[in-house]
Chains A and B, each alone.
Chain A
Amino acid sequence: MLDIKNLHVKLEEEDKIILKGVNLKIGSGEVHAIMGPNGSGKSTLSYVLSGKGGYEVTDGSATLEGAELLEMEPEERAAAGLFLAFQYPVEIPGVGNMTFLRTAVNAQRKARGEEELSAGDFLKIVRAKAKTLKIDAEMMKRPVNVGFSGGEKKRNEILQMAMLEPKMCILDETDSGLDVDAMKLVSEGVNALRDAGRSFLVITHYQRLLDHIKPDFVHIMADGRIIKTGGPELAMEVEQNGYADILAEVV
């Protein structure tokens, strides 16, 4: 599904190197988690994959089902099946949540050469999916993320994911700012989307999210590289001992 090879990235405006050769291969239907201390490059990896400006790729590649992502515009990556659930979903005053979602769904369908959804069909689907995430009609009418609580914003991200039906989902610290119940709700939303044709990359600081979204593989990232890969037990190890032991082991 996703194949990242030797990815080197620096900040565009300064000589700060953030990713120093990331290698990661995610197979179809797999769930991978990336953990790591602050500043290790986790969020940068998610931004570079989804095409945010301000970064310069100096080496390496990232392909989604064989297509080079790094040469695409952000919207082309989305149409190709990539989705990033933001750590900090952006508030957009003046743009209705429903309008935004429908425009996004139809833009992707159009880009893939599929027929656009009619207003009626769209409404039916979005209502059903919103309900399982406990997102009410009132929230759908409000401007995108404006006045949403932390939990509402994250649920809204998952709703977008459910509507856009991407192949490769990246969740960037989706657990940050969530209480236990909200985390459970969001995780259920994610788990409902798991299937053989869809892969996940879950970025998190803490093991507790991985209790709900069970990963197949766990990677530890530090200083711009993936330094260790293992199964779910690796997350437990981090939870108990912190990163220090693992970092020491590698150095």
Chain B
Amino acid sequence: MAQLQAKQDALAARIAGLDLPRGGWSAPARTDALTRLSAMGLPSKRDEYWRYTDPTSLTSVLAPSAAPFEYSDEKMVFTDIDRLRLVFVDGVFDAAASDDPAMAGVEISRLSASGDLHWARDLFGVLETRGQTPVQRPLAALNTAFATDGIMIRATGKAAKPVSLIYLHKSNTSDAILHHCIKVEPEAELTILENGPAAARLNMVMEVEVAEGGKFHHIRTQGRDHERRAVTHIFARLAANALLKSFTLTANGHLTRNEAIIEFAGDDAVAHVAGAAVGDGAFHHDDTVFVTHDAERCESRQVFKKVLKNGAIGVFQGKILVKAGAQKTDGYQISQALMLDDDSQFLAKPELEIYADDVVCSHGSTSGAIDETALFYLQSRGLPKRVAQSLLVLAFLAEAIAEIEDETLAEDIRIRMENWLSRHEGK
């Protein structure tokens, strides 16, 4: 009990300076979240779920100072993509810097919008609550209670272009709590792009409901800043024949914990979650994924690749839970780390828990160094060692990047990777 008390004390300190919004359509969900959160307290290093990643800097009262990235030679990712841009500066929506949020097939509102956003009310905090069992995720409940901004997006048809959430970080001490809700109606299709470091510290939740036959694509980059910290949760529920594809590229950052909690509620749905992470030096990156199959003939794929050097740390906790009755499930999970030196670490905890008897589930986890034989082969054809090494690193990441369906977006991500690699060549 002493441990729970300590977690609740930490929570009391953390939220002492935060305001719980009392009005508006989101208020009941927020009050409920606070009640749930108060019972849990904040996560601590002693929690099994935080065994490999110390949450201290994510739960501290103040965000640890983080300088924004100054380097600006490289244009931002997605710059050349035709998209609807919504800009946040240190976690606050910047209407002046954003495009007019009007687009055929899509309704866009702010979390703080007045009136009753009925569809969002049925989603806000709902998937987050479902995602609290069997594993507690207090930082997500904290987000639901205290989120200061966010975007509610509802796709009713095929969106004409991607909605691009751009997160700028300008203040050393910004502490952003963003909560987005996304509803993809039956047979509708939406692509969400996210990029930028957002703040010195970011707590982001995205709840995604994909209705029958709906398609949701999500491509995210978390890059540039070296000192930022972030914890993100994606809670997704898929109805029959729905599709979700999420890809995240993470480069730099002191600490990043990305959780994806996916639930198959209807038959014949498909969900792919992929990530490529590259870290050099003080970099701790954690992918924590929980996929629940509660319907028949659904396909899930988890593909996570990490490239680590100079003491960077990679974590993967991935679980596939196949409930009784979820027959003909096709589950796949791979997590791999490429260690470019002897100082880096990869900590992986792949899990399968299966209660149905007619399923195919496979998982694998590896860590290793660059293949010296392949390196020599490339060099012997005239490729300088660094070029050869970059080519092999990109080849290693290719399986994750291949999860991006749109080839233009995939190419954009590949170029980011190449640029990062060339900046981080050698020691």
A interface with B by C-beta (< 8 Å): 50-53, 73-75, 77-79, 83-84, 86, 89-90, 92-95, 100, 103-105, 107-108, 111, 143, 160, 164
Main SS class of interface, B: helix
Does A160 lie within 8 Å of B379, measured CB to CB? no
Given that A73-B379, A75-B379, A75-B385 are contacting pairs, would A103 and B391 also be in contact in the complex, using a CB cutoff of 8 Å? yes
Additional 16 contacts, C-beta under 8 A, given A51-B379, A75-B379, A94-B394: A50-B380, A51-B376, A52-B380, A53-B372, A73-B384, A78-B382, A79-B382, A86-B380, A90-B376, A92-B377, A93-B395, A94-B392, A103-B391, A107-B384, A164-B381, A164-B382
When C-beta atoms are compared, the residue in chain A nearest to B377 turns out to be: A90
Cα(A50)–Cα(B378), bound, Å = 12
Max chain A Cβ within 10 angstroms of own Cβ: one of B379, B388, B396: B379
Chain A residues, Cβ within 8 Å of B391: 95, 100, 103
Chain B residues, Cβ within 8 Å of A50: 380
Chain B residues, Cβ within 8 Å of A83: 380
CB A152 to nearest CB in B, in angstroms, measures 16
Chain A-chain B contacts (Cβ-Cβ < 8 Å), number? 77
Chain B residues, Cβ within 8 Å of A143: 395
Given that A52-B376, A90-B374 are contacting pairs, would A104 and B398 also be in contact in the complex, using a CB cutoff of 8 Å? no
Chain A residues, Cβ within 8 Å of B79: none
Chain A residues, Cβ within 8 Å of B384: 73, 75, 107, 111
Does A94 lie within 8 Å of B377, measured CB to CB? no
Q: List 7 A-B contacts (CB under 8 A).
A: A51-B376, A73-B384, A73-B385, A90-B377, A100-B378, A105-B382, A160-B381
Within 8 A of A (CB), among B60-112: none
Given that A53-B372, A86-B377, A89-B377 are contacting pairs, would A75 and B395 also be in contact in the complex, using a CB cutoff of 8 Å? no
Proximity string of chain B (338-381) to chain A, C-beta cutoff 8 Å, 1 when within and 0 when not: 00000000000000000000000000000000001110111111
B383 within 8 Å of A (CB atoms): yes
Chain A residues, Cβ within 8 Å of B399: 94
Does B396 lie within 8 Å of A94, measured CB to CB? yes
Does B379 lie within 8 Å of A95, measured CB to CB? no
Does A74 lie within 8 Å of B374, measured CB to CB? no
Does B377 lie within 8 Å of A75, measured CB to CB? no
B40 within 8 Å of A (CB atoms): no
When C-beta atoms are compared, the residue in chain A nearest to B384 turns out to be: A75
Does B395 lie within 8 Å of A78, measured CB to CB? no
Interface size on B, residues (CB 8 A): 23
B interface with A by C-beta (< 8 Å): 372-374, 376-385, 387-388, 391-392, 394-399
CB B326 to nearest CB in A, in angstroms, measures 32
Cα(A103)–Cα(B383), bound, Å = 7
When C-beta atoms are compared, the residue in chain A nearest to B386 turns out to be: A75
When C-beta atoms are compared, the residue in chain A nearest to B394 turns out to be: A94
Cα(A75)–Cα(B376), bound, Å = 9
Cα(A164)–Cα(B385), bound, Å = 18
Does B373 lie within 8 Å of A90, measured CB to CB? yes
Does A94 lie within 8 Å of B379, measured CB to CB? no
Given that A75-B385, A107-B387 are contacting pairs, would A51 and B380 also be in contact in the complex, using a CB cutoff of 8 Å? yes
Does B381 lie within 8 Å of A92, measured CB to CB? no
Chain B residues, Cβ within 8 Å of A111: 382, 384
CB B420 to nearest CB in A, in angstroms, measures 17
Does B382 lie within 8 Å of A75, measured CB to CB? yes
Quick one: which of B377, B385, B387 contacts A103, CB cutoff 8 A? B387
3 nearest A-B residue pairs (beta carbon): A94-B395, A78-B382, A74-B379
Max chain A Cβ within 10 angstroms of own Cβ: one of B372, B377, B380: B380
Does B378 lie within 8 Å of A92, measured CB to CB? yes
Does A92 lie within 8 Å of B374, measured CB to CB? yes
Cα(A78)–Cα(B382), bound, Å = 5
Does A94 lie within 8 Å of B398, measured CB to CB? yes
Cα(A92)–Cα(B373), bound, Å = 10
Given that A53-B372, A89-B377, A94-B399 are contacting pairs, would A75 and B394 also be in contact in the complex, using a CB cutoff of 8 Å? no
Chain B residues, Cβ within 8 Å of A105: 382
Chain B residues, Cβ within 8 Å of A103: 383, 387, 391
Given that A52-B376, A86-B377, A100-B378 are contacting pairs, would A92 and B392 also be in contact in the complex, using a CB cutoff of 8 Å? yes
Chain B residues, Cβ within 8 Å of A160: 381
Given that A94-B396, A95-B391, A100-B391 are contacting pairs, would A75 and B383 also be in contact in the complex, using a CB cutoff of 8 Å? yes
Cα(A51)–Cα(B383), bound, Å = 13
CB B338 to nearest CB in A, in angstroms, measures 11
Cα(A50)–Cα(B383), bound, Å = 13
